[in-house]
Amino acid sequence: MLKIKNDFDLKSTITCGQIFRFILEEDGSYTVIIKDRVINLKEDNDYIIVESNKEDNLKEIIYDYFDLDRNYEIIEKNILKCDKKLESALIFSRGLKMIHQDPFETIIAYIISQNNRVPSIANALNLISLNYGEKVIFKDKEYYLFPSVDKLKTLSTLDFRNCKVGFRDKYLYEIMRSIENNLLDIESIYNMNSEDSLKYLIGFKGIGNKVASCILLFAYQKFDVYPIDTWVKKFMKEDYNIEGEQNIKKFTYDTYKEYSGLAIQYMFNYKRNKK
DNA sequence: TCCCAGGACTACT
DNA sequence: AGTAGTCCTGGG
């Protein structure tokens, strides 16, 4: 068991739409599956109690995944300096972290996310894990890890289809081929700038602008990249009177520079969740 | 039963 | 260069 103290808003971070596979337990705690283990996190006053089936390196894994070593206070100050109007969104979203997800799992998850709803996406990812991932028993319950690259390489288009991914089956099959013959080098994206990595990802079938942006923000921590959805459009229209994706991109990049993705995430969280 | 929402691809102008 | 039609699933 691990006890952490941080200005970390567990609920917002897990439920704000960055990840699809999490379980809200009856006691209000959250269970997530990270790398090779199942992890349960429970708020306890100023602390978060972390339990897992594997204790080794647990602190490192949690800090890396929830981005707890980054100084968000400085980022918030910088964003605020660029735009005073974001103050209420920043206060509302304090403690929201950008989850550092596994790139491979994120690529698969967001290809499935195209033209799809959150419950269906989660269902497909759970089926893929159930059918091809390793089983882990934790507190008498069964969980399934996300399958390895090598495991998913062995699947046919039909195998993917049977996991309820629909017409995206061929994209997933093709992306596994691209990984297999090194056309898609997952590690190399860490070393690319945002513009190049966006172009690189969009070059693969099944990955368009929105999916690529999600992958870069949520798995590669490229904070100047972000997806534009209806909530972002609504916020930009209502609060800044800006319309059109190009205009939104230009405005946010001019205003928030390298933290555009984070600023947008704070807006999104505020707009979607405030009463 | 039908209808709808949700991104990217393909095949058209 | 821009755009209508199409691909599936789950829920109303």
- Residue A119: CB less than 7 A from any atom in strand B: no
- Pair (A125, A202) in one structural domain: yes
A79 bridge partner residues: none
Residue A273: its H or E element: helix A260-273
Measure the CA angle with vertex A18, ends A185 and A193; round to 5°: 40
Place of tokens 């997800």: A101
DSSP one-letter code for A1: -
pLDDT tier for residue A102 given thresholds of 50, 70 and 90: very high
3-state helix, strand, coil in chain A (%, to 5): 55, 10, 35
- Pair (A20, A83) in one structural domain: no
Domain that includes residue A267, residue range: 72-98+225-273
Which CATH number do you get for residue A253?
A: 1.10.1670
- Pair (A48, A135) in one structural domain: no
- Pair (A84, A175) in one structural domain: no
Tens of pLDDT, residue by residue over A133-181, are 999 999 999 999 999 999 999 999 999 999 999 999 999 999 999 999 9
- Pair (A114, A196) in one structural domain: yes
Burial A68-95 (b: 16+ CB within 10 A, else e): beeebeebbeebeebbeebeebbebbee
- Residue A116: CB less than 7 A from any atom in strand B: yes
Place of tokens 């898609």: A184
Residue A136: its H or E element: strand A135-138
Phi/psi at A247 (nearest 5 deg)? -65, -40
| Per-residue pLDDT at A240 exceeds 70 | yes
- Pair (A85, A27) in one structural domain: no
- Of A10, A44, A65, the last residue of a domain is A65
Count of domains for chain A: 3
- Pair (A229, A269) in one structural domain: yes
Q: Which of A's residues 95-134 have CB atoms within 7 A of nucleic strand C?
A: 115-117, 119-120, 123
Gap between the Cα atoms of A59 and A50, Å rounded: 9
Place of tokens 């991914």: A165
Specify the range with the lowest mean pLDDT, choosing from A42-51, A205-214, A265-274. A265-274
pLDDT tier for residue A273 given thresholds of 50, 70 and 90: confident
pLDDT tier for residue A275 given thresholds of 50, 70 and 90: low
Which CATH number do you get for residue A198?
A: 1.10.340.30
For residue A3, what are its two tokens? 């006890």
- Pair (A204, A254) in one structural domain: no
Q: What 3-state DSSP class applies to A215?
A: helix
Gap between the Cα atoms of A19 and A30, Å rounded: 12
- Pair (A236, A196) in one structural domain: no
| Per-residue pLDDT at A6 exceeds 80 | no
Q: Which nucleotides of B are covered by protein (CB under 7 A)?
A: 5-10
For residue A51, what are its two tokens? 């339990």
- Residue A221: CB less than 7 A from any atom in strand B: no
| Per-residue pLDDT at A128 exceeds 80 | yes
Tens of pLDDT, residue by residue over A76-92, are 999 999 999 999 999 99
Gap between the Cα atoms of A268 and A275, Å rounded: 13
Q: Which residue has the higher pLDDT, A159 or A271?
A: A159
Average pLDDT, chain A: 92
Which CATH number do you get for residue A49?
A: 3.30.310.260
